[in-house]
């Protein structure tokens, strides 16, 4: 078997592990709430802290990967993620969920190591074979599979014990670690001996932390506006310090010259806007299905499978096609299909037939799958070989930041339309356990409609930017020239 397929099997396993964890965890929240004697806000932080951790460590990991190699860091990610999972599985009720937040932070560090190096490893392995898009598309299959497997696995394991949702990662992580150590190798080695930019890393990481804390507190109910303002000012000071400092150093942690490539810049920008549009969409869907639609968390998890299934089918096909045809056409078409799905979801109500809802989810998933692989292909093909770690890190930061920004924009709209007690019961137990007054229900549904319309606007902006961007020649077209 060729090395590229062996490397892809390792990265796909890592992506599947992280994806299943995210989707299955939602179904364990009621048991976590009861057994750890915690509250709704703590549960939200258990979810958010992972995304925050992966985002803030990505730039450092991207630079380290280019300096010291991707194999070691990727395998270290498997090990840290597995250790974090073990710790999550043995969390104690005496800490009321705060220890679980810390252990999820450890998981997030492992996830950042996996997430940042995964795309770069696949790019290294496939870059000279003319089928990079196919490799990236297959890698995306794992992410989509998590949306399908996660709710089913969570629904089966959570009634037995919520701890199993974390502990099941241990054998998978162990296999992934061993397989990665045996299979992976550093194809591309940076021969330059560069010093690591410690001060620049501090400024960048700290600024990301304060920005994400600002967005996280904005998204939570009854948050402290003074604290949000302090966090935001700290972000402004740190990011300006970072920009001024990076202009003076020889080996910056973040290479701004990457954005001089128009295709790299615009592809990342459309990817960022798509992350905003997609970031909160599944959360809003879950709120709808568990609220006005009156379904349990397990039922809701099963009902969003059409999104993951359509993503699963389209992503590898789009990746394969992006090696032969213009990735601009494919990614733009994907955004248009996603926009149609969001437009449909903006009209759903309590009595909407599930068949219609599933069609809108299929459109959103298919559009996302059609966009994702060609967009990633265009980003990674426009990065120099020795900068692929940083290029992957830029993509990862913008993707995660887009998701956090999406949540910060949408959560206050949805949560603000109903009491905190009602929204916590809906999110944790399902709408069947909550009696909602008709006027409140109307406001809740309107907030869901408004949320999808806002996400639609970001998608339309992404379509416009994609249309005015470079042609986006395929690998086969470049080879002919």
User: Residue 345's pLDDT is what?
Assistant: 94
Residues 78 and 183 in one domain: yes
Q: Which residues contact 466 (CB under 8 A, 6 or more apart)?
A: 266, 270, 328, 331, 332, 335
In a domain, 381, yes or no: yes
Question: How far apart (Å, rounded) are the C-alpha atoms in residues 296 and 269?
Answer: 37
Domain count of the chain? 2
Query: Is 438 buried (19+), middle (13-18) or exposed (0-12) by CB count in 10 A?
Result: exposed
Question: How far apart (Å, rounded) are the C-alpha atoms in residues 460 and 342?
Answer: 11
User: Residue 164's pLDDT is what?
Assistant: 92
Residues 258 and 331 in one domain: yes
Residues 160 and 230 in one domain: no
Q: Which residue has the tokens 């930061």?
A: 397
In a domain, 274, yes or no: yes
In a domain, 265, yes or no: yes
Residues 388 and 441 in one domain: yes
Ordered per-residue pLDDT tens for the chain, 481 residues: 688 888 888 888 887 887 787 777 877 877 888 889 888 778 888 888 888 888 778 878 877 877 778 888 999 999 999 999 999 999 998 888 899 999 999 998 998 888 888 878 888 888 776 677 778 777 777 776 776 788 778 878 888 888 999 999 999 899 999 999 998 887 766 545 567 777 888 888 888 888 878 877 776 666 678 888 898 999 999 989 988 888 788 777 777 788 888 888 999 999 999 999 988 888 888 888 887 888 877 788 788 889 888 988 888 888 888 878 777 889 999 999 999 999 999 999 888 999 999 999 999 999 998 998 888 888 888 888 777 777 887 888 888 888 888 888 888 888 777 776 777 777 666 666 667 667 777 888 899 999 999 999 999 999 999 988 776 554 444 444 4
Residues 245 and 261 in one domain: no
Q: Which of 141, 423, 84, 83 is nearest to 283 (CA)?
A: 423
Residues 222 and 163 in one domain: no
Residues 300 and 210 in one domain: no
Residues 149 and 131 in one domain: yes
Q: Which of 252, 271, 297 is the last residue of a domain?
A: 252
User: Residue 473's pLDDT is what?
Assistant: 54
Query: Is 360 buried (19+), middle (13-18) or exposed (0-12) by CB count in 10 A?
Result: buried
Please spell the DSSP secondary structure of 49-61, one letter per residue.
Answer: HHHHHHHHHHHHH
In a domain, 475, yes or no: no
In a domain, 85, yes or no: yes
In a domain, 476, yes or no: no
User: Residue 188's pLDDT is what?
Assistant: 67
User: Residue 478's pLDDT is what?
Assistant: 43
Could you tell me the pTM of the whole model?
A: 0.81
Residues 213 and 114 in one domain: no
Residues 206 and 104 in one domain: no
Residues 336 and 227 in one domain: no
Q: Which of 252, 287, 322 is the last residue of a domain?
A: 252
Q: Are 274 and 368 in contact (CB under 8 A)?
A: yes
User: Residue 354's pLDDT is what?
Assistant: 93
In a domain, 69, yes or no: yes
Residues 231 and 149 in one domain: no
Q: Which of 208, 225, 252 is the last residue of a domain?
A: 252
In a domain, 479, yes or no: no
- 378: domain CATH number is 1.20.1250.20
The token pair at 7 is 């490397």
Domain that holds residue 224: 197-252
């Amino acid at each position: 078997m060729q090395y590229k397929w062996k490397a892809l099997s390792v990265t796909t396993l890592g992506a599947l592990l992280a994806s299943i964890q995210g989707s299955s965890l939602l179904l364990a929240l009621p048991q976590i709430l009861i057994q750890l004697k915690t509250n709704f806000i703590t549960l939200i932080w258990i979810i958010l802290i992972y995304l925050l951790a992966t985002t803030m460590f990505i730039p450092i990991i991207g630079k380290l990967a280019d300096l010291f190699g991707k194999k070691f860091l990727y395998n270290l990610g498997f090990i840290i993620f597995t250790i974090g999972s073990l710790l999550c599985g043995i969390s104690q009720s005496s800490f009321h969920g705060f220890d679980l937040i810390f252990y999820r932070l450890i998981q997030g560090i492992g996830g950042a190591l996996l997430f940042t190096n995964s795309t770069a490893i696949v790019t290294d392995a496939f870059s000279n074979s003319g089928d990079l898009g196919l490799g990236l598309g297959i890698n995306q299959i794992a992410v989509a599979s998590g949306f399908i497997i996660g709710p089913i696995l969570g629904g089966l394991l959570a009634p037995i014990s919520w701890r199993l949702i974390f502990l099941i990662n241990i054998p998978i992580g162990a296999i992934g670690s061993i397989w990665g150590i045996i299979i992976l190798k550093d194809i591309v080695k940076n021969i330059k001996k560069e010093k690591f930019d410690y001060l620049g890393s501090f400024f960048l990481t700290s600024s990301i932390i304060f920005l994400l804390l600002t967005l996280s507190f904005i998204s939570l109910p009854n948050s402290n506006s003074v604290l949000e303002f302090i966090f935001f000012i700290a972000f402004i000071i740190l990011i300006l310090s970072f920009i001024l400092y990076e202009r003076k150093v020889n080996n910056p942690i973040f290479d701004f010259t990457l954005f001089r490539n128009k295709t790299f810049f615009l592809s990342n920008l459309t990817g960022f806007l798509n992350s905003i549009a997609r970031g909160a969409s599944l959360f809003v869907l879950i709120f709808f299905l568990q609220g006005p639609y009156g379904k349990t968390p397990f039922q809701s998890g099963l009902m969003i499978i059409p999104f993951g299934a359509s993503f699963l089918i389209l992503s590898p096909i789009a990746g394969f096609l992006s090696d032969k045809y213009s990735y601009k056409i494919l990614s733009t078409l994907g955004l248009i299909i996603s926009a149609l799905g969001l437009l449909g979801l903006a009209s759903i109500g309590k009595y909407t037939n599930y068949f219609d809802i599933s069609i809108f989810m299929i459109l959103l998933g298919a559009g996302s799958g059609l966009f994702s692989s060609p967009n990633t292909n265009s980003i990674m093909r426009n990065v120099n070989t020795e900068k692929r770690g940083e290029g992957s890190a830029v993509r990862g930061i913008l993707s995660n930041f887009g998701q956090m920004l999406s949540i910060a924009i949408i959560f206050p709209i949805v949560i603000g339309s109903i009491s905190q007690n009602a929204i916590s019961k809906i999110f944790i137990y399902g709408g069947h356990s909550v009696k909602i007054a008709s006027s409140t229900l109307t406001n809740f549904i309107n907030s869901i409609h408004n949320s999808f319309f806002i996400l639609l606007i970001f998608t339309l902006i992404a379509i416009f930017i994609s249309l005015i961007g470079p042609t986006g020649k395929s690998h086969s077209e470049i080879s002919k020239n």
